Chain A
Amino acid sequence: MDTRFGTLCTAVVFAVFVRWVVSLNSYSGMGKPPMYGDYEAQRHWMEITTNLPIKQWYFNGTDNDLLYWGLDYPPLTAYHMWLCGKVAEWIDPDWTSLFASRGYESYEHKLFMRYSVLIGDVVIYIPAVLLYCFLQKKFTHTQKVLLSCVLLLFPGLIIIDYGHFQYNSISLGLTLWAVIALSHRHEVLGSAAFMLALCYKQMSLYHAMPFFCYLLGKCWQQRWKKGFFSLCCIGVSVLATFAFVWMPFLSDKDLFLQVVHRIFPVARGVFEDKVSNFWCSLSVVVKFRNFMSHEGLLKLCLATTLLGLVPSSLDLLFRPSGNKFKLALVNSSLVFFLFSFQVHEKSILLPALPVCLLLPWRPFTSTWFLTIATFSMLPLLVKDGLVIATLITSILFIIAVELGLQGVSSDPTIGCPVCIWSSKNLPWLPHRVFFYAVKSGFYASLMGALFLGLLSVVVPPPSSLPDLWPVLISVYSCSHFIGFTLYYHIVQLMTTDSKETAAQKTKKTQ
């Protein structure tokens, strides 16, 4: 048996093990009638898709009460739920019987649901991560294995998918496939994969702008004829994928519009629960509802989001490169998360994916971001009874990053454009200042998060302020995310390809 293959297998088995053990915990809305939680939502979609004809899936009707977890994800999710529902029906018809199965919970059913997440993960996300790591040419085999193990242990995704219950690994995995394809010049395949991700979960729109700008910029760089031809190929691949997935809903205009309306619920609030984004944090001080209409707020969100997208998108459009593309994915999704409308706390996973991809090059800041990203979902996880699992997997992740990539002990100033700039232009400023400032900031921030987390679990909030802890956690995380948005923007704008490779070289020689 080859040792190289063996170590890789051990790493993957360990990742699967952690996923499975987390799934032994409770899920969202476990034993909480009448609405339950996301687990019931997914089960309900299996019930709807297997029992009703496809045209009725997105319509309110006698058999389909949209107010009870109505389907509000794009068709690919619906097909996936149909497939799972068929298997569920085959195992036990009670799991999907129309109406009667509402709120169905049992030991076997939980197992089935957990397995369905694991299968999606093993088929789509894990291979994508492995491929991504093993295509990094400059690493040794051991480094590749360690990197894949670390990436697979990101706690946010594990806890949400296997604890809270969702299928994020499928849409994120498809996005990752697209990123891999693009970085190896398979633009047609990449755009199709990203289209599939979009058709699985509309939240992938957070990543759409960089994909668009990168592809356009790449075509632009080529000679006129060739560039136009590849642009046409990409366009055809996108449209074909879209048409293929949406086929049953394209026959009728009303049907199509209803699906779109379900997917983009503009009528719902600006944020769900307490989200660590800009609007939610600002609402602590400014009560928007008092002086702004719903429409006005929607427009404000749209305007700020678009404005925020401009710098990173234009930069990527005119200077497209693999590194800038990943950074732009972070920036675009962070801007969406901070400023857009109808944001869920779980949407932080979308910026977290490209940040994971940056881990080998910026281990320190990525670790910091990913830990805070997991922490920002704490109010949700407290509700689901997943605090212990979250804490343990977070510690595991930090240890893995430290053992595998020296994520915590590495020098955060390496490859940081601000430091490079200052060492050139401000020679009187000692380099170490940045080092100690960032390091102490990191530890203070993690300690603060731990402290706040402990408080929110142990100390009951005062009766006049029932949302005290969630709001504090949101504001605390939001301030981090704003900082990270600025940081990643600076990095993206100041990175040129030659500098990036130079930074890697210095890192390698150390």
Chain B
Amino acid sequence: MAAPMYFSVVVTVTIVKLLLIPSYRSTDFEVHRNWLAITHSRPVSQWYYEDTSEWTLDYPPMFAWFEFLLSRIAKLFDPAMLEVTNLNYASFATVLFQRLSVIVSDFVLVYAVYECCQCVQLVGKKKSPHLLSQPMFVLAVLLLWNFGLLIVDHIHFQYNGFLTGLKLLSIARILQRRHLEGAFWFSLLLNFKHIYLYIAPAYFIFLLRSYCFTRSNRDGRVQWTSLSLMNLFGLGVVVLEVFAISFGPFIAMGQLGQVLSRLFPVKRGLVHAYWAPNFWALYNIADKAATAVAVRAKLLSADDITKATMTGGLVQEYTHNALPTITPLVTVILTLAAMMPALVHLWRRPCTPRDFLRCLVLCAFSSFLFGYHVHEKAIILIIIPLSLLAVESRQDGQVFLLLSTCGHLSLFPLLFTQAETPSKVCLMLMFSLFAFMSLGVLHSSSKKRPYCLPLLSPLETAYTVGLVFLQLYCSLGHHTLGLTTRLPFLPLMLTSVYCAVGVMWSWLKFYLITLTDMQHLKQS
């Protein structure tokens, strides 16, 4: 892709981000302001002990150092935001600084996306002057204009763009077969935000399999004697070095336990107040249905039903009535079980970086679907790497279109303020229109189904159109029917259950594509 075209994509999306400055901000804005204040005005030894605000520092040390750096610049904007006791402080200069810090740190993403675009394989693609048929351009827009990143970072307020940039950079390095650099960026990323532990298994298996072991047998199995100690050592040094720099000082101060207890709080419930569209959303609704049936059939008495069921999920601790209650251990086992086929699949063949990418997506899928206390924002972890695959293969494009549409729609409740409704609807429409058009053009086939969205089957089309009606009901119909007081959580529940169906379907489809792909290769 020509550099000027990429430049214009970057400039327009940056302008959009700047325009979003006056939008609504969630409490995460105050969280990050508080972290700026802590890292600026407290010594390092106090960072993980400070608890004046309820929003204590719960990201790994690298992120704390990142906030520390930002606070040096923040001082020039408004020193008052750097006082720990100045809770909920949001002067114009503070807002401007924090918003700009997200926008500027997003340039890591800009660089990483550029690197990723260079890695796109143009297999069997005809060269066309039409912009929508250039996979690099399409990929650049899909990544930079990603609806989830835009609303979560630039409206809701977080630094996911910057972190996603690190992730994409590490992926790009692996695609370029610069494994050590890839490992470096990923371990750095882990020390910025530990949610990326979800996808660490894919990295681990891939680097071990195709970097530490250098050769494969004829049948594709690993050749055990080909272990390169040199590579293993190099990899170990790179990864451990990053962790040492990050956690070292805290270990030296004897604070490791405290830091870890901040990073992994275990007092939360299985699901959020708003259920992320995953397996547990379906499980909960099944529980509700089963309870209702059981009460009808007099198997359960109404007194046994806990309050949470009645309030439909407002309470964080959700106890199941008819079905067994889920403990964190169960979710861990289920998550690992869901990942296992993908990891085994990755191990058992001479894997290419693209196989790694598939495994990465599957790991993200598994932890999103079965993880404990998963936030709906984690869908971005799946959609972003899937974009890379979507521009290269038609089948992945199909999964991407369905998943990105329902996954992004499931982020709508994140922005509940009325003024943001048109913003989010417009951004979502722009992204979805572009995704459907461009991937439709990229993977255009001779047989076109009438009355179907590009690449989607009739069933999937019906599902996607259903999302529109769902949203219409949630934002207009529910209120008009006067159900707001009687069933206040119905819209949220409907959204999460309906989207969960789509996410589960995409997951199964993607798993199937990945596993059958191997047989396809073997035959040929």
Q: Interface residues, chain A, CB within 8 Å of chain B?
A: 1, 3, 6-7, 9-10, 13-14, 16-18, 20-22, 24-25, 107-108, 110-111, 118, 388-389, 392-393, 395-396, 399, 403
B441 within 8 A of A: yes
Q: Which of B1-38 contact A (CB under 8 A)?
A: 8, 11-12, 15-16, 18-23
Closest to A397 in B: B15
Q: Is the CB of A13 within 8 A of B436?
A: no
Q: Among the listed stretches B60-68, B222-230, B244-252, B427-435, which one makes contact with chain A, having 4 or more residues with CB under 8 Å of it?
A: B427-435
Write out the residue numbers on chain B whose beta carbons fall within 8 Å of the beta carbon of A399.
Answer: 8, 11-12, 15
- A395 to chain B minimum Cβ distance, whole angstroms, is 6
| CB-defined A-B contacts under 8 Å, sample of 8 | A9-B433, A13-B426, A16-B422, A16-B426, A17-B16, A388-B18, A396-B15, A399-B8
Closest to B444 in A: A3
B481 within 8 A of A: no
Write out the residue numbers on chain B whose beta carbons fall within 8 Å of the beta carbon of A9.
Answer: 429, 433
Q: Which of B451-475 contact A (CB under 8 A)?
A: 453-454
A25-B22 contact in complex given A107-B419, A108-B418, A392-B15, C-beta closer than 8 Å: yes
Q: Is the CB of A396 within 8 A of B12?
A: yes
Q: Is the CB of B454 within 8 A of A1?
A: yes
Closest to B17 in A: A392
- A283 to chain B minimum Cβ distance, whole angstroms, is 35
Write out the residue numbers on chain A whose beta carbons fall within 8 Å of the beta carbon of B418.
Answer: 107-108, 111
Q: Is the CB of A6 within 8 A of B419?
A: no
Closest to B441 in A: A3
Q: Is the CB of A392 within 8 A of B441?
A: no
If A3-B440, A17-B423 are given as contacts, then 15 extra A-B residue pairs at C-beta distance below 8 Å, sorted by A number, are: A6-B433, A6-B437, A10-B433, A13-B426, A13-B429, A14-B426, A16-B426, A21-B423, A24-B419, A25-B22, A107-B419, A110-B419, A111-B419, A389-B22, A399-B12
- Shortest Cβ-Cβ A-B pairs, 9 listed: A17-B426, A6-B437, A20-B422, A21-B19, A24-B22, A396-B15, A10-B433, A13-B429, A392-B18
Complex CA gap A24/B95 in Å reads 14
Complex CA gap A24/B423 in Å reads 10
Write out the residue numbers on chain A whose beta carbons fall within 8 Å of the beta carbon of B15.
Answer: 392, 395-396, 399
B239 within 8 A of A: no
Complex CA gap A24/B20 in Å reads 9
- B447 to chain A minimum Cβ distance, whole angstroms, is 16
Closest to A17 in B: B426
Write out the residue numbers on chain A whose beta carbons fall within 8 Å of the beta carbon of B18.
Answer: 388, 392
Write out the residue numbers on chain A whose beta carbons fall within 8 Å of the beta carbon of B44.
Answer: none
B440: which of A1, A16, A21, A108 is its contact (CB, 8 Å)?
A: A1
Q: Is the CB of B436 within 8 A of A1?
A: yes
B132 within 8 A of A: yes
Write out the residue numbers on chain B whose beta carbons fall within 8 Å of the beta carbon of A14.
Answer: 426, 430
Q: Is the CB of A10 within 8 A of B434?
A: yes
Complex CA gap A63/B132 in Å reads 60
A21-B20 contact in complex given A1-B453, A6-B437, A395-B15, C-beta closer than 8 Å: yes
Q: Interface residues, chain B, CB within 8 Å of chain A?
A: 8, 11-12, 15-16, 18-23, 132, 418-419, 422-423, 426-427, 429-430, 433-434, 436-437, 440-441, 453-454
Write out the residue numbers on chain B whose beta carbons fall within 8 Å of the beta carbon of A389.
Answer: 19, 22
Q: Is the CB of A17 within 8 A of B430?
A: yes
Complex CA gap A14/B23 in Å reads 17
Complex CA gap A323/B42 in Å reads 69
Complex CA gap A21/B419 in Å reads 9
Write out the residue numbers on chain A whose beta carbons fall within 8 Å of the beta carbon of B132.
Answer: 3
A18-B429 contact in complex given A3-B437, A3-B440, C-beta closer than 8 Å: no
Write out the residue numbers on chain A whose beta carbons fall within 8 Å of the beta carbon of B453.
Answer: 1
Q: Is the CB of A21 within 8 A of B23?
A: yes
Write out the residue numbers on chain B whose beta carbons fall within 8 Å of the beta carbon of A16.
Answer: 422, 426
A18-B19 contact in complex given A13-B430, A396-B12, C-beta closer than 8 Å: yes
Complex CA gap A20/B132 in Å reads 27
Write out the residue numbers on chain B whose beta carbons fall within 8 Å of the beta carbon of A13.
Answer: 426, 429-430, 433
A1-B437 contact in complex given A13-B429, A17-B427, A108-B418, C-beta closer than 8 Å: yes
Complex CA gap A6/B437 in Å reads 7
Write out the residue numbers on chain A whose beta carbons fall within 8 Å of the beta carbon of B12.
Answer: 396, 399
Q: Is the CB of A403 within 8 A of B19?
A: no
- B519 to chain A minimum Cβ distance, whole angstroms, is 33
Complex CA gap A18/B18 in Å reads 11
Write out the residue numbers on chain B whose beta carbons fall within 8 Å of the beta carbon of A25.
Answer: 22
Complex CA gap A108/B417 in Å reads 11
Write out the residue numbers on chain A whose beta carbons fall within 8 Å of the beta carbon of B427.
Answer: 17
- B432 to chain A minimum Cβ distance, whole angstroms, is 10
Write out the residue numbers on chain A whose beta carbons fall within 8 Å of the beta carbon of B21.
Answer: 388
Closest to A395 in B: B15
- B426 to chain A minimum Cβ distance, whole angstroms, is 4
- A140 to chain B minimum Cβ distance, whole angstroms, is 12
- B197 to chain A minimum Cβ distance, whole angstroms, is 35
Complex CA gap A389/B12 in Å reads 14
Write out the residue numbers on chain A whose beta carbons fall within 8 Å of the beta carbon of B20.
Answer: 21
Closest to B428 in A: A13
Complex CA gap A256/B473 in Å reads 48
Write out the residue numbers on chain A whose beta carbons fall within 8 Å of the beta carbon of B16.
Answer: 17, 21
Write out the residue numbers on chain A whose beta carbons fall within 8 Å of the beta carbon of B426.
Answer: 13-14, 16-17, 20
A22-B8 contact in complex given A1-B436, A16-B422, C-beta closer than 8 Å: no
Complex CA gap A1/B405 in Å reads 16
Write out the residue numbers on chain A whose beta carbons fall within 8 Å of the beta carbon of B437.
Answer: 1, 3, 6-7, 10
Write out the residue numbers on chain B whose beta carbons fall within 8 Å of the beta carbon of A111.
Answer: 418-419
A20-B430 contact in complex given A388-B21, A392-B15, C-beta closer than 8 Å: no
Closest to B452 in A: A1
Closest to B418 in A: A111
Q: Which interface residue of B12, B16, B19, B436 has the most chain A CB atoms within 10 A? A: B19
- B128 to chain A minimum Cβ distance, whole angstroms, is 13
- B78 to chain A minimum Cβ distance, whole angstroms, is 16
Write out the residue numbers on chain B whose beta carbons fall within 8 Å of the beta carbon of A396.
Answer: 12, 15, 19
Complex CA gap A392/B426 in Å reads 19
- B417 to chain A minimum Cβ distance, whole angstroms, is 9
A22: which of B19, B433, B436, B441 is its contact (CB, 8 Å)?
A: B19
